[in-house]
Amino acid sequence: MKTRIKTAGILIAALLVLAWLDFYILNLAIFVVALVIAMVEAFKLYGIKENDLAIVGGFLFVVAAILCGSFSGYYKFIIFTLLLATSIVVLKNSENLDPIKVTLYPFAPLLVMWAIYDSLGMIYLVYLIVIVAVMDSGAYFVGKFLGSHTFTTTSPNKTIEGVIGGFVATFFIAGVFYSLFLKDGVIGCPFLSTMFIALASFFGDLFESYLKRKAGVKDSGDIFPGHGGMLDRLDSYLFASIAMSMVVAW
């Protein structure tokens, strides 16, 4: 527990500094590094040995950041990447769909997360981070101390009480953040949108738990002491970023 809290404190401090600096090139570099690490971890979960695809993913991410300037542009690029991955599978007459898997997760949602920053600005990316962090923390602590009813066998440690606690915490804390820092009209129906993003973040976490269970591993990696790997830290954001892109004004 102490290691987990210490690592979380360091990550929060780093995020605050990055948000304050808001240096585009530095942020892009961090996203690309995070993507490459997340893709390598995803390869392990999928049972893929072609780790060189992670470098290709990082290159495509930079290309997208240069060429795309809106949500529609990024989604078009994702479709292009899916077509490219599918074409490679066909060209090689491959018996598996590994390139397509990696494109769908984690490449596409992490690119959408970058699109939130690139299209809306740092404050909206911070809002996404607040929603996910509060939902995750609320669910964890309420579930730990009050939880007694398992939400799903996919992740037995997640409880109904924890999920409810996460939603309640998100409602209050994210609501205060929205009222203080965000502009009206960018996010449609703020309350429902925030709850939708929180729900997506929960299922993002659940999805990675599903992948780890299928792969027979506890964590996707060990880069963050007490927290696991990059995917273990990004899992909720990958679904939540897609949800947020659906409720903001393009």
> Which residues, 6 or more positions from 227, have their beta carbon under 8 angstroms from its beta carbon?
4, 7, 8, 11, 233
Task: Work out the burial of residue 115: count CB atoms within 10 Å of its CB; fewer than 13 is exposed, 13-18 middle, 19 or more buried.
Answer: buried
Cα 47 from chain centroid (whole Å): 21
Verify cis geometry, omega within 30 degrees of 0, for the bond prior to 106: yes
At 4, the pLDDT band (50, 70, 90 cuts) reads: low
Number of domains the chain contains: 1
> In terms of Cα–Cα distance, which of 35, 206, 27, 198 is closest to 108?
35
What average pLDDT does the chain have?
A: 91
At 204-225, the pLDDT tens digits run 999 999 999 888 888 888 888 7
Rounded to 5 degrees, φ, ψ at 140 are -65, -50
CA atoms of 76 and 243, how far apart (whole Å): 17
Cα 100 from chain centroid (whole Å): 18
Give the domain range for residue 197: 2-247
At 22-70, the pLDDT tens digits run 999 999 999 999 999 999 999 989 888 777 789 999 999 999 999 998 9
> What percentage of the chain's residues is helix, strand, coil (to nearest 5)?
75, 5, 20
> Which residues, 6 or more positions from 26, have their beta carbon under 8 angstroms from its beta carbon?
18
In 197-224, which positions are buried (b, 16+ CB within 10 angstroms) versus exposed (e)? bbbbbbebbbbbbebbeeeeeebbbebb
At 120-158, the pLDDT tens digits run 999 999 999 999 999 999 998 999 899 889 998 888 889
Look at residue 226 and tell me whether its pLDDT is greater than 80.
Answer: no
Task: With H, G, I as helix, E, B as strand and everything else as coil, classify residue 229.
Answer: coil
Rounded to 5 degrees, φ, ψ at 159 are -115, 160
